[in-house]
Amino acid sequence: MDSSVLKARREKLGNALNNGEMVFIFAAEEPKGISKFLQNNNFLYLTGLYETPEAVFLCFKQKDKVYEYIYIQRNIPEMIVWDGAKIYPEEAKEISGIDNVKFLDEFEDSLQYNLSLSNKVFINTGLQNLNKPLNKQLFFASKIKERFLHLTYAEANQLMMPLRQIKDDCEIDFLSKAIEITGFGLESIFKNAKDNMYEYELEAMLFYEMRRRGLDHFGFAPIIASGVNATTLHYKKNNTLIAENELVLCDCGALFKNYSADITRTFPISTKFSKRQKDVYNEVLNVQKTIISMIKPGIGLTELNQKTGEMIGEACVRLGLIADVADYKKYYMHSVSHHLGMDTHDLGARDSILQEGMVITVEPGIYIKEENIGIRIEDDILVTKDSFKNLSFMIPKEIEELEEFRKK
C-alpha cells in the first residue's frame, strides 16, 4: 500500500478535528501465547502497519496544525530468536509516511504537555461490557481522566465512521481480492461436497482452497449449515452429518489484508434442487436481484429493508407459509444489508443513505424450520456514481449453474 493513500486518509481525519482535540488509536494487543496476530482495523487504516502489536497512533490539532506520532515497541534482543524482530522506527516511518516514530516507553511522559493544552480526547475503546474489566484503552482513559479534569472524552469511531464507510480504491482492491478468494473456496465446495459428509469437511475444503489463494484469516466463523441448521442464522458448530437431498447454506468470507468478504450461497447436496427447494430458492433470488437493482447513491438502507420485507411477505404467501403478508417475520428475521469492509459488519449506520464508495451486502433469506429449509443468498455490492457494481458477480447463484457444478 502506498503511503500516499494513508496520508490522504489521515488528512481527512485531521480536517475533521478542531483545535485542541487529540485522537489516540491503539493497535491490537500482543496475542497471548502463540496465537496469530490480527491488527486493529482503525490503527491499520491510518498507519498501514500490519505487524505492530501494542503500538499507538496519536494525532492532534493545535493552532490549525495537525501533528502525528506513532509509538512502537522496542526490540528486546533476546526475544528476536523466538518471535523475530519487531518493526524498527525507520520501517514504520517508511510504511506509514509518519515522520515522528517513537518508542512506547516514551509514550506517557510525552503526553503531559499536550493533554494540558487540549480540550477533547478521542480513543478507540472498542465494544464495552459493564461486567468485564477495563481494556487497555479504557484503562488509559481512566488514568488521564483522573489527572486532566478539564478534558472531555469520546469514542474514536465517531471520527472513523465517516471515513471508513466510504472506501478508497485500495480498499476496493483488497475487498475484491477477499471476495475472489472466497469464490474459489465456495466453488471447491460446490464441486466436492457429498451427502454423508460432515459440515466441517466442507469447512475444511473452504479453508484449504482459500488459504492457498491468499486468505490470512477467516473474516468470521464460517457458517456451513445443512437442512434445519440453516434456520439458525449464526449457526457455527458445523458438526452435523449432511443428509441426502438437503440444502446446504454456506455463509463465509476470507479476510485479505484485513478486508472481509461476506458471501452466502445455498446449494443442494444432491445433483438437483427438489421442486419445493427450487420454489423457495427462486423467491429469495428474485428478492435479492430486485434489491441489488435498487442500489444507487441517495437510496437508504431503510428503504431496502422495507422493500425486502414487502417482497418476502408476498413470497411467503405464494409459498403457502402465511395468509397475511404482515406475518413474514416468522420466516425472515434479519436486515437485508450491512456495511462491509475491514470489519464484516463494518462501521456505518444501519439507516445509512447510500453514497458512492460504500460497500454493502445484500442478503435476503427465507427460513422454514418445519420443512428443514433455510435459504440465504448474499452478494457484496459497491455503490458507484449513479448505480452499483456487484463485486461478487462471478460466484454462481443461478439454479442451473449450481446444478451444473453438482453434476460434475
User: Which of ligand GLY, Mn ion, none binds 125 (CB below 5-8 Å, type-dependent)?
Assistant: none
User: Which of ligand GLY, Mn ion, none binds 346 (CB below 5-8 Å, type-dependent)?
Assistant: none
What is the total residue count of the chain?
A: 408
The Cα 300–Cα 304 span in angstroms is 7
Q: Smallest gap, in angstroms, from Cβ of residue 316 to Mn ion?
A: 21
Q: Smallest gap, in angstroms, from Cβ of residue 335 to ligand GLY?
A: 9
H/E stretch holding 397: none
C-beta closer to ligand GLY: residue 164 or 339: 339
C-beta closer to ligand GLY: residue 201 or 262: 262
C-beta closer to ligand GLY: residue 219 or 227: 219
262 binds Mn ion (CB under 5 A): yes
CB 71 within 8 A of CB 102: yes
C-beta closer to ligand GLY: residue 220 or 367: 220
Task: Give the strands of the sheet with 56-62, arranged side by side.
Answer: 101-103, 65-72, 56-62, 21-26, 120-123, 152-155
Q: Smallest gap, in angstroms, from Cβ of residue 361 to ligand GLY?
A: 6
Residue spans of alpha helices (H) in 53-167: 80-83, 89-96, 107-117, 136-147, 157-164
Residue spans of alpha helices (H) in 17-88: 41-47, 80-83
171 binds Mn ion (CB under 5 A): no
Q: Smallest gap, in angstroms, from Cβ of residue 16 to ligand GLY?
A: 28
3-state secondary structure of 33: coil
Which residues here bind ligand GLY, judged by CB under 6 A?
220, 251, 262
DSSP type of residue 19 = T
Stretch that binds Mn ion, among 195-203, 260-268, 276-284, 314-322 (CB under 5 A): 260-268
260 binds Mn ion (CB under 5 A): no
Q: Which residues contact 382 (CB under 8 A, 6 or more apart)?
A: 167, 172, 357, 358, 359, 388, 389, 390, 391
Q: Smallest gap, in angstroms, from Cβ of residue 251 to ligand GLY?
A: 5
CB 281 within 8 A of CB 266: yes
361 binds Mn ion (CB under 5 A): yes
User: Which of ligand GLY, Mn ion, none binds 337 (CB below 5-8 Å, type-dependent)?
Assistant: none
Residues in contact with Mn ion by the rule CB under 5 A: 262, 361
